[in-house]
């Protein structure tokens, strides 16, 4: 029994040994006479391949193993990392955008307004001998240049209008050179926006000049364009110790003094904006004429 098993085993080993020998002989023949590989050239591509931001296609690995890199020589991974770091370090900021050449061109330069060209001269009730044209020529001659274009005489007062390129402030600075030609001059001021205020309960024992000095001295920024005047007539003020005056103020702080108490004579006085009305003014409260709706004492009327 054991001999039969041993015989079969030996037979299988001998068969395998013969097959191994056959394969080794064939391998030796192939190594001895290798056939050159057949290469076929691909047709030349005439079309340019589009650029791609993706990674390049992987090339087939060479048949022979690459030679090991020498010690200390940078590999392609190290070079790629160094290049990326250098590129990020030398990154320059983007240049600022240049203004568009199609920007809207600036508008025409604004000229001098008529209000900026007017200078007003207040006079007393004395008679003025020269005519408007004679006075214009005399003023320009006294200044030594053509400053005044027209002169208007209204109510005894004089309004000087300068040339288109001359501001009234320039003419006002030369007022001392020609005011002797206008007798009875009491005040010279620019044609600036004004506000009229009523100041109540001022003592009638003081003159208007004293009241004007008190108001302008003890109220910072208050500029009077003309002498104050009493609101009522002399007959109405007879026997009264206090009454109201009308003042005309100008300047950038003029609106701040509306409904504000003004200081004078070591006390304060109530103010309000003066209301203008005449026989044609109709009240929106009672629909009657000759008074303002803010001062209406009548009951409300149906509309």
SS (H, E, C) 119-132: EEEEECCCCCCCCH
Q: Where in the chain is the domain with CATH 3.30.70.330?
A: 194-273
- Residues with Cβ within 8 Å of 208's Cβ and at least 6 positions away in sequence, in order, are 227, 228, 229, 230, 245
pLDDT of residue 90: 55
pLDDT of residue 24: 85
- Specify the 3-state DSSP secondary structure of 274: coil
Looking at the domain that runs over 194-273, which CATH code has it been given? Answer: 3.30.70.330
* pLDDT tens digits along 121-158: 988 888 888 999 999 999 999 999 999 999 998 877 89
Confidence class for position 23, pLDDT limits 50, 70, 90: confident
pTM, two decimals, is: 0.45
Long-range contacts of 213-222, Cβ-Cβ distance < 8 Å, separation of 24 or more: 214/264, 214/265, 215/247, 215/262, 215/264, 218/263, 218/264, 219/257, 219/262, 219/263, 219/264, 221/251, 221/252, 221/253, 221/256, 222/249, 222/253, 222/257, 222/262
Q: Is residue 261 within 8 Å of residue 201, measured between CB atoms?
A: no
Q: Is residue 212 within 8 Å of residue 227, measured between CB atoms?
A: yes
258 versus 76: which is more confidently predicted?
Answer: 258
pLDDT of residue 53: 46
pLDDT of residue 233: 92
pLDDT > 60? residue 12: yes
94-108, 115-129, 153-167 — which is least confidently predicted?
Answer: 94-108
At residue 24's C-alpha, the angle toward residues 21 and 28, to 5°, is 140
pLDDT of residue 73: 52
d(CA 20, CA 281): 134
* pLDDT tens digits along 209-245: 999 999 999 999 888 888 899 999 999 999 999 999 9
How many residues are listed for the chain in this entry?
Answer: 303
Q: What average pLDDT score do residues 269-290 get?
A: 78
105 versus 147: which is more confidently predicted?
Answer: 147
- Residues with Cβ within 8 Å of 157's Cβ and at least 6 positions away in sequence, in order, are 120, 121, 122, 123
* Integer CA distances (angstroms), 36 to 30, 33, 39, 50, 65, in order: 12, 10, 9, 36, 20
185 versus 45: which is more confidently predicted?
Answer: 185
pLDDT of residue 87: 47
d(CA 227, CA 208): 7
pLDDT > 80? residue 106: no
Looking at the domain that runs over 114-190, which CATH code has it been given? Answer: 3.30.70
pLDDT of residue 97: 59
pLDDT > 70? residue 169: yes
Mean pLDDT of the chain: 78
* pLDDT tens digits along 41-89: 555 555 454 444 444 445 444 554 555 545 555 555 555 555 555 545 5
pLDDT > 90? residue 180: yes
78 versus 279: which is more confidently predicted?
Answer: 279
């Amino acid at each position: 029994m054991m001999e039969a098993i041993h015989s079969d085993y030996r037979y299988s080993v001998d068969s395998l040994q013969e097959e191994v020998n056959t394969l080794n002989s064939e391998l030796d023949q192939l190594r001895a006479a290798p056939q050159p590989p057949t290469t076929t050239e691909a047709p030349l591509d005439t079309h340019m391949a589009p650029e791609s931001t993706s990674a390049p296609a992987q090339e087939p690995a060479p048949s022979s193993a690459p030679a090991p890199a020498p010690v200390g020589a940078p590999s392609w991974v190290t070079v790629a990392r160094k290049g990326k770091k250098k590129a990020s370090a030398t990154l320059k900021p983007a240049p600022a955008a240049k203004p568009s050449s199609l920007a809207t061109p600036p508008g025409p330069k604004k000229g001098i307004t008529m209000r900026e060209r007017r200078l007003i001269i207040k006079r007393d009730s004395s008679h003025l001998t020269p005519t408007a044209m004679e006075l214009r020529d005399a003023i320009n001659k006294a200044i030594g240049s053509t400053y005044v274009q027209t002169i208007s005489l209204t109510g005894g007062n004089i309004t000087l209008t300068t040339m288109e390129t001359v501001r009234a402030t320039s003419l006002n600075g030369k007022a001392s050179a020609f005011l002797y030609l206008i007798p009875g001059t009491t005040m010279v001021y620019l044609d600036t926006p004004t506000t009229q205020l009523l100041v109540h309960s001022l003592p009638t024992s003081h003159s208007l000049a004293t009241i004007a000095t008190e108001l302008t001295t003890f109220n910072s920024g208050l500029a009077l364009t003309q002498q104050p005047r009493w609101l009522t007539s002399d007959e109405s003020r007879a026997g009264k110790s206090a009454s109201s005056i009308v003042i005309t103020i100008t300047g950038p702080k003029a609106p701040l003094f509306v409904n504000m108490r003004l200081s004078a004579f070591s006390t304060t006085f109530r103010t309000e904006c003066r209301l203008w009305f005449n026989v044609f003014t109709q009240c929106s409260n009672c629909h009657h004429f000759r008074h303002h709706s803010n001062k209406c004492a009548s009951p409300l009327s149906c509309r």
